[in-house]
Amino acid sequence: MCSKDKKDNITPISLVNFVNDGGNILLAVSSELSENIRNFAREFDIEFDERNTYVIDHFNYDVSDNGKHTLLISNNFVNNEAILSKEVIEGVPVLFRGIGHKAGTVPLLTKILWAKDTAYSSDFELLEQEPLAIGNDVGLISALQARNNARVTFVGSLEFFSDQHSKSGNKALVNDLTKWTFQEKGILRTTSRSHHKEGESEQLEMYRIKDNIIYNIEIS
Q: In this predicted structure, what is the pLDDT of residue 79?
A: 97
Select from 173, 149, 132, 157 the least CA-distant residue to 27: 157
Q: In this predicted structure, what is the pLDDT of residue 160?
A: 96
Rg from Cα positions in the chain = 22
pLDDT in tens, 47-94: 999 999 999 999 999 999 988 999 999 999 999 999 999 999 999 999
The DSSP result for 113-132, as a single string, is EE--TTEEEE-GGGTTSPPS
Query: CA 48 → CA 83, 133, 146, 183, distances in Å?
Result: 22, 10, 20, 25
Select from 26, 70, 29, 61 the least CA-distant residue to 48: 29
Question: How do the pLDDT tens digits run along the chain, 220 residues long?
Answer: 443 444 556 899 999 999 999 999 999 999 999 999 999 999 999 999 999 999 999 999 999 998 899 999 999 999 999 999 999 999 999 999 999 999 999 989 999 999 999 999 988 665 566 777 889 999 999 999 999 999 999 999 999 999 988 789 999 999 999 999 999 987 766 778 888 888 888 898 899 898 899 888 887 5
